[in-house]
Chains A and B, each alone.
Chain A
Amino acid sequence: TLTLTSLIILTLPIITTLLQNNKTNCFLYITKTAVTYAFAISLIPTLLFIQSNQEAYISNWHWMTIHTLKLSMSFKLDFFSLTFMPIALFITWSIMEFSLWYMHSDPHINRFFKYLLLFLITMLILVSANNLLQLFMGWEGVGIMSFLLISWWHGRTDANTAALQAMLYNRIGDMGFIMMMAWFTIHLNSWEFQQIFLTNPKNTTLPLLGLLLASAGKSAQFGLHPWLPSAMEGPTPVSALLHSSTMVMAGVFTLIRFYPLMENNLTIQTSTLCLGAITTLFTAICALTQNDIKKIIALSTSSQLGLMMVTIGINQPHLAFIHMCTHAFFKAMLFLSSGSIIHNLNNEQDIRKMGGLYKTMPITSTAIIIGSLALTGMPFLTGFYSKDPIIETANMSYINTWALLITLIAMSMTASYSTRIIFFALLGQPRYPSLTQINENNPYLINPIKRLILGSIFMGFLISMNTIPHTTPQMTMPPHLKFMALAVTLLGFTVATELNNMTHNLMFKQPSRMHTFSTMLGYYPTITHRILPYLSLTMSQNLATTIMDSIWLEKMIPKNLTTMQKTAASLVSNQKGLMKPYFLSFLLSITLGLLIAL
């Protein structure tokens, strides 16, 4: 029964795509209800798993055998995939309902829904894959759908460059993935997870490095991160689905999948830890002074992903997974409410031009406040059940102190930029033009947000109560460490509130160095996106034009010869240019010579 139900889950959305009735209006509603039923059905295996803690592997279709490598289509239904699938389906259901309101005036809305559905299917393939080939198919699938969806408004240059950026950074990560697959084929002769974990090889540094690179590319870690803020060029439902809850989780999810191998390899753990710590601090710094509401939320996603990497780095993959699930809820909700604000203010995305929405858009402002509180780890909301254990475990483990410190600093910055969003968007006097059309009464807008609010509040509790802990959490610790997360967050809140209130009516004469560092995203995109084309273009210019044309053909022999001769002639000669007397004297001397000889 488990097998049948999970296969039905995957095929229900697929059937909808195959019907392809793009012209009719009810395609949208069919898609949405298909996803709803898929969500409901996917709860059945999850509940069965919670009750029995029995994992399942379905391996049905043997595709081909290349020499000794057997490739088949197999699904792995363990704790990770069974918990993540209903969450992904729930969020996709909410987002599809939301995009019925948001993309209402778009003529190609059927195509949009088709793309969202394709994305969902590839994400589910990725999550439930039991061998690396299937995971790679899902991996590439989400990459392609991300490209198509970011460049949804493809008439806009920025959208196209952002989609290209996403594709290229993902590709760099894919190189790591392929290296990992190649290593496993060569050394272990299999791409199935069971075989990899059973044989438990001893020298796994190289493939795990490849995996780390792949996750860094997919999940926007430092070094491969600029695509995530740029990906906000896509419509808000796309940002909510792909770049907050699901696709960027793919990288972290794959790292979590490989936890048996990573347990034994301390080098990889340390590098994951440091990479995650750098990412979370760097993106939190950048998020502090951004002015576009979607970019702030995107950088916040990147920061939380860094936190998940830190958790994997301290050898707690299950905590990272729980944080991933809870993060999906409140981040999607933050994006949906920002989409509601943007549409209601007539496509205004700059928070310096919003304000005073606390009274006019009550449901959205409630959503933002609850989402921000959950994000920062307010006790007993969702984020608390995942973030607090992470910080406690990090405080009590034997890790790099510097990584721990910057994670804590990044946590306080999380509180700061969330306060900034609330302060600029919701509080104060309105700063937008006075002819407004603020209307939140559409059920397609309200219902998803309401569902996600409920999810944000309760899901943390539900998930942590219903899962069996795989590692014993730290029970005893000194009180100052126990309250560290809360203290740091409160510090961030208060500092941000004070600063915002004090400097609200002040203006920069010239922004300080730190401010421009943060607003320009740390200069990283500016440097790297220009340096590579610059280097290759100057190299080609040097080779083709300078070396060949100008030096070898023009300057080396002809021009050098002329300058040499001219300087020599002008230095040496003292002629006066009298041609005729010279010729006459020549003739005279020849004749005299002939006469004398004869």
Chain B
Amino acid sequence: MPYIYINIILAFVISLIGTLIYRSHLISSLLCLEGMILSLFTLNALLSLNINFTLSTIVPLILLVFAACEAAVGLALLIIISNTYGLDYVQNLNLLQC
């Protein structure tokens, strides 16, 4: 497989590890989530250009749209947590309040 795909998939894997392993701030997880989406977007764009499959050039655009919504939802969750606790430390999320 061409080298460039391996490069981008490696970027994706690194971001994935970053999402799943983080110390205390929730926002670092969200940041790595953005990185995952960015690498996926680049992969999709390059793939549809190199295989000359023009019908799939719309896929990166759709991905972008959903990524934006998802980022907004993540930030909203962050803000709610920050409203209750003042910081976004993950240790704070042990109280279930409903």
Chain A positions near chain B (C-beta within 8 angstroms): 566-567, 569-570, 575-580, 583-584, 586-587
Majority SS of interface residues in chain B?
Answer: helix
B21 is contacted by which of A576, A577, A583 (Cβ under 8 Å)? A583
Smallest beta-carbon distance A92→chain B, Å:
78
Centre residue among A575, A576, A578, A583 by max chain B CB count within 10 A: A583
Chain B residues lying within 8 Å of A584, measured Cβ to Cβ, are 20-21
Chain B stretch 48-97: residues in CB contact (< 8 A) with chain A: 90, 93-96
B19 at the interface (CB under 8 A from A): yes
Q: When the two chains form their complex, are residues A580 and B22 in contact, meaning their CB atoms are under 8 A apart?
A: yes
Residues of A within 8 A of B19 (CB): 583
Residues of chain B lying within 8 A (CB to CB) of residue A567: 98
Interface centre among B17, B19, B20, B26 (most CB of A within 10 A): B20
29 CB-based A-B contacts, threshold 8 Å: A566-B98, A567-B98, A570-B96, A570-B98, A575-B96, A576-B94, A576-B96, A577-B93, A577-B94, A577-B95, A577-B96, A578-B94, A579-B26, A579-B90, A579-B93, A580-B21, A580-B22, A580-B90, A583-B19, A583-B20, A583-B22, A583-B29, A584-B20, A584-B21, A586-B20, A587-B16, A587-B17, A587-B20, A587-B21
Give Cα A578–Cα B95 distance, bound, in whole angstroms: 10
Chain B residues with Cβ under 8 A from A578's Cβ?
Answer: 94
Q: A567-B98, A577-B94, A577-B96 are in contact. List 16 more A-B contacts (CB 8 A).
A: A566-B98, A570-B96, A570-B98, A575-B96, A577-B93, A577-B95, A579-B90, A579-B93, A580-B21, A583-B19, A583-B20, A583-B21, A584-B20, A586-B20, A587-B17, A587-B21
Binding site for A on B (CB under 8 A): 16-17, 19-22, 26, 29, 90, 93-96, 98
Which of chain B's residues have a CB closer than 8 A to the CB of A586? 20
* A494, chain B: closest CB distance, angstroms: 81
The closest CB in chain A to the CB of B92 belongs to: A577
Q: Lowest 7 A-B CB distances belong to which pairs?
A: A583-B20, A570-B98, A587-B20, A577-B93, A577-B94, A579-B90, A566-B98
Distance, CA A580 to CA B20, complexed state (A): 7
Kindly state the separation between the CA atoms of A587 and B16 in the bound complex, as whole angstroms. Answer: 9
Shortest A559–chain B CB gap in Å is 15
Report the bound CA distance from A570 to B94 in whole Å. Answer: 14
**Whose C-beta in chain A lies nearest to the C-beta of B94?**
A577
Q: What's the Cα separation between A586 and B19 when bound, in Å?
A: 11
Bound-state Cα–Cα, A586 to B21, Å: 10
CA distance A587 to B22 in the complex (A): 12
Query: Contact check: which of B29, B90, B98 meets A569 at CB < 8 Å?
Result: B98
Contacts of A575 in B (CB 8 A): 96
Q: How far is the CB of B95 from chain A (nearest CB, A)?
A: 7
What is the predominant secondary structure among interface residues of chain A facing chain B?
Answer: helix
**B96 contact set on A, CB distance < 8 A:** 570, 575-577
Q: How far is the CB of A426 from chain B (nearest CB, A)?
A: 79
- Give the distance in Å from the alpha carbon of A584 to the alpha carbon of B93 in the complex: 17
- Once the chains are docked, how many angstroms separate the CA of A579 from the CA of B29? 11
A587: shortest Cβ distance to chain B, in Å? 4
| Distance to closest chain B CB from A566 (angstroms) | 5
Closest to A586 in B: B20
Taken together as a complex, chains A and B put the C-alpha atoms of A584 and B23 apart, in Å, by 11
- Please give the distance in Å from A567's CB to the nearest CB on chain B: 8
A212 to B94 CA separation, bound complex (whole angstroms): 80
Q: Which residues of A contact B20 (CB under 8 A)?
A: 583-584, 586-587
Tell me, in angstroms, the Cα distance from A350 to B19 when the chains sit together.
Answer: 87
CA distance A530 to B19 in the complex (A): 66
Residues of A within 8 A of B93 (CB): 577, 579
Q: How far is the CA of A116 from the CA of B72 in the complex (A)?
A: 74
Q: In the complex, A577→B97 CA distance in Å?
A: 11
Q: Measured between C-beta atoms, what is the minimum distance from B53 to chain A in Å?
A: 27
Distance between Cα atoms of A579 and B91 in the complex (Å): 8
Chain A residues near B16: list those with CB within 8 A.
587
Kindly report which residue of chain B lies nearest to residue A591, judged by CB atoms. Answer: B17
Residues in B neighbouring A566, C-beta threshold 8 A: 98
Closest chain-B Cβ to A19's Cβ sits at a distance in Å of 79
Enumerate chain A residues within 8 angstroms of B22, measured Cβ to Cβ.
580, 583
When C-beta atoms are compared, the residue in chain B nearest to A569 turns out to be B98
CA distance A583 to B20 in the complex (A): 5
Residues of A within 8 A of B26 (CB): 579
Cα of A576 to Cα of B19 in the assembled complex, Å: 20
Once the chains are docked, how many angstroms separate the CA of A566 from the CA of B90?
21
Inter-chain CA distance A567–B95, complex, in Å, is: 16
Q: What residues on A are CB-neighbors of B95 within 8 Å?
A: 577
Cα(A326)–Cα(B21), bound, Å: 106
Give, as a whole number of angstroms, the nearest-CB distance from B10 to chain A: 14
A419 to B98, CA, bound (A): 76
Give CA–CA (A108, B20) in the complex, Å: 90
Closest to B90 in A: A579
Bound state CA distance, A412 and B25, in angstroms?
93
Centre residue among A575, A576, A579, A586 by max chain B CB count within 10 A: A579
- A415 shortest CB reach to chain B, Å: 78
CA distance A576 to B96 in the complex (A): 7
- Residues in B neighbouring A569, C-beta threshold 8 A: 98
- What separation, in Å, do the CA atoms of A230 and B35 have in the docked complex? 79
**Cβ distance A597 to chain B, nearest Cβ, rounded Å:** 15
Shortest CB-to-CB span from B21 to chain A, Å, is 7
Closest residue to A571 on the B side, CB-wise? B98
Cα A193 to Cα B96 in complex, Å, equals: 88
CB nearest neighbor in A for B95: A577
Chain A, residue nearest B24 (CB)? A580
The distance in angstroms between the C-alpha atoms of A586 and B94, with both chains bound, is 19
Quote the shortest CB–CB distance from B14 to chain A (angstroms): 12
Q: How far is the CA of A569 from the CA of B20 in the complex (A)?
A: 23
Please indicate the chain A residues that have their CB under 8 angstroms from the CB of B94 in the complex: 576-578
User: Which residues of A sit under 8 angstroms from B21, Cβ to Cβ?
Assistant: 580, 583-584, 587
Within 8 Å CB of B98, what residues of A?
Answer: 566-567, 569-570
Closest beta carbon of chain A to B12's beta carbon, Å: 12
CB distance from A563 to the nearest CB of B (A): 10
